[in-house]
DNA sequence: TTGACATGAAACCAAAAGGTTTTATATAAT
DNA sequence: ATTATATAAAACCTTTTGGTTTCATGTCAA
């Protein structure tokens, strides 16, 4: 019941630059469609469609308040993307990817991060 | 002339499931087009087009060896995606995102990861 | 109740995406 | 030299995408 073979997945949802901007907007605060539209050079209907797609991918959720519908960010679905990325990070290994590997493979462990004196980094 | 406002960016390149599979394939080893094609239910031409798109996004690179063209993964472009993701991770914070924040904001620091006794997981 | 506002939904459209088939070219093998 | 292999490139086709315009509906304000 939780995986209804949805038409739009996260990867497709974030492929469009307008939709990525919408996500960024909504990350600041919940907004009604009309206010979101004000930030873009296109019609309200177009934005509504983008919101529908983002909603299908469960990246946003909308609630009706009075006569307006307010959308908010729902970032949890981005974990799918993150996991996908994690797989490839092992191929361009750097300090961060090593850390991530340890954390993700041994999630239950206690971790201590010890920072040394800040140095001049070019 | 070096940034020709490329037609396909990383976000769009990974939107297609076939292309994501191709990337996974190439992560194991360099492969010529024909061998890649063998893994998919479509024509060689179709795969060649996907490779072209991935190449535009600089996610793969191809070199000619004899009569074949071998493609390999070029994961560096995924950093763009990673950075994008990092911004949103602050909104669904968990242990990992805290770590990442520290690492990314203080990149030059020395880091020690201390693992405790491995426990029975799952 | 009458209008203004916020949205929803449908019909339509051009361009892009994702395939195919066909034709051409370079290299390898016999 | 001839043939088989590996790819490239072009023409074509269908579906999806990203937008529009138009019309209908629900809610708030006067």
What is chain B's pLDDT, residue by residue, as a tens digit (122 residues)?
Answer: 433 456 789 999 999 999 999 999 999 999 999 999 999 999 999 999 999 999 999 999 999 999 999 999 999 999 999 999 999 988 876 655 566 556 655 544 455 555 444 433 32
Taking the Cβ of residue A96 and every Cβ of chain B, the question of whether any pair is shorter than 8 Å is answered with yes
Q: Which two tokens stand for residue A74?
A: 């729902």
Which strand ranges, in their side-by-side order, compose the sheet holding B60-65?
Answer: B31-32, B68-73, B60-65
Token pair of B49 as six digits = 């087009």
Q: Which nucleotides of C are covered by protein (CB under 7 A)?
A: 5-10, 17-22, 26-28
8 Å CB contact of A27 and B95: no
Digit-by-digit pLDDT tens for chain A (122 residues) are 433 446 789 999 999 999 999 999 999 999 999 999 999 999 999 999 999 999 999 999 999 999 999 999 999 999 999 999 999 988 876 655 556 556 655 544 455 555 544 444 33
B17 touches strand D (CB under 7 A): no
Distances (CA, A) of B20 to A13, A15, A42, B27, B98: 15, 13, 31, 11, 28
pLDDT tens digits for B34-46? 999 999 999 999 9
In sequence order, which residues have a C-beta less than 8 Å from that of residue A61 and are 6 or more positions away? A55, A71, A72, A74
């Amino acid at each position: 019941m939780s995986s209804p073979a949805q038409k739009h997945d996260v990867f497709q949802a974030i492929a469009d630059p307008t939709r990525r901007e919408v996500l960024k907007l909504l990350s600041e605060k919940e907004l009604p469609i009309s206010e979101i539209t004000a930030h873009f050079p296109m019609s309200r209907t177009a934005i509504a469609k983008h919101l529908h797609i983002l909603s299908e991918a469960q990246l946003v959720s909308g609630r009706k308040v009075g006569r307006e519908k307010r959308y908010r960010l729902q970032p949890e679905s981005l974990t799918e993307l993150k996991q996908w990325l994690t797989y490839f990070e092992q191929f361009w290994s750097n300090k961060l990817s090593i850390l991530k590997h340890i954390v993700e493979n041994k999630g239950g462990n206690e971790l201590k991060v010890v920072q040394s004196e800040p140095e001049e980094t070019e």
